[in-house]
Amino acid sequence: MDGFGDALVGKLPENASDRHFDRFYFNMHGASTAPLVMVGAGVYPGKNVVDGFVVLVEPDRQRNLRFSTELTEQQPGGVGPLMWTTVEPMERWSLKVDENPLGVSFEVTWQQRTPAWFNTVTIPNANSGPAVFDHLVQSGRYEGTLRVDGIEQSVNGWWGQRDRSRGVRNVNGGQGLHVWFQAQFPDRCISFLLGENRQNSVILLEGAVLHENGTADPIAEARHALDFDAGLDLKRGRILVVTEGGAHYEVDCDATARGGFLNGAGYGGEHGRPRGVDWMASDEIPLDGSVTPRDLRTPMTDRLTEFRWDGKVGHGIVEFAHTRSAAYVYRPSI
């Protein structure tokens, strides 16, 4: 289904806004305990920008590296220490990160294990027209090596979700809860994107249960009972999913692993910002409880999570953002 065009674009589509973007994101993990690696890049042709990030989540800290350059000064398929190749659209990507100040490098291949799920997402905004962009998710497995501070380890068999988005993502207010749920089990991935407004009404739900046998069962309903602490950090939860095919999934989630703060990857307004040629910045976030989603520029967090469903154990990501607005009070829907 590569009518989507899996490779990143290098120029503005006809009649596109100068805010148009084309981005990818991959996560990579072995289980529900650290390390978690997140990597991504985006092109912004109207701003002459290509940028990217690498994030490593360890038990005690999160290391972040962000980089950017001018699109006209960069060969396609790379930015900073990051290089990528769409080896086979919707099937296989190669990702390489060279040595850098973060101390994290890798050379891996991501191979699809489920079909891709594609939709055009529309998110209402309180103060302007809706955000509309194309969105694709897909589950896969990795092969290759990861090096941290010179110590090499194999990532063969690690799981990871990829996310592709393209358009104009001008989300600017009115949302109460955001959940991007990616529960990976040996033969399937329960995958959905959920948004609720500050009145606890669903404004966005799209996704499917993606099976390794190539089938996709669209999700008709997703309910939740989530345990947020005072810092708006997710600890545990329960998700109830009903598919259009009539399947019911009740999934328990243990999100007590720390980190995954997307602030470190430049989310919350830093992506696409012109910074000139060969810009790079790195920092760390301690994971001792002193930093929470309430403290950061954006509360958006990708938490490495353990899932339990029907006696089976799975691992994956719950991306969550609980607004800091006093106008919103979280209410469970189950």
pLDDT tens sequence across 132-153: 789 999 999 999 999 999 999 9
Residue 44 scores a pLDDT above 90: yes
Q: What is the pLDDT of residues 277-333, one digit of tens each?
A: 999 999 999 999 999 999 999 999 999 999 999 999 999 999 999 999 999 999 999
Output the average pLDDT for the chain: 93
Cα–Cα distance list, 206 to 64, 87, 136, 144 (Å): 30, 28, 11, 32
Tokens found for residue 161: 């979700």
For residue 90, give the DSSP letter. Answer: T
Q: Which long-range contacts (CB under 8 A, 24 or more apart) does 240-247 make?
A: 240/334, 241/190, 241/192, 241/209, 243/208, 243/209, 243/217, 243/218, 243/219, 244/217, 244/218, 244/219, 244/220, 245/217, 245/218, 247/209, 247/217
Predicted pLDDT at 133: 80
Q: What is the pTM of this model?
A: 0.94
* Other beta carbons less than 10 A from residue 101's beta carbon: 11
Cα angle, residue 98 at apex, residues 180 and 148 outer, rounded to 5°: 70
**201: which residues sit within 8 A by CB, 6+ positions away?**
none
Cis peptide before 35 (omega within 30 of 0): yes
CA–CA separation, 53 and 41 (whole Å): 6
**Residue among 6, 165, 140 at smallest CA distance from 84:** 6
List residues bridging with 88 in a β-sheet.
92
In the chain, the largest separation of any two C-alpha atoms, in whole Å, equals 52
Domains and CATH numbers, the chain: 21-322 (2.40.370.10)
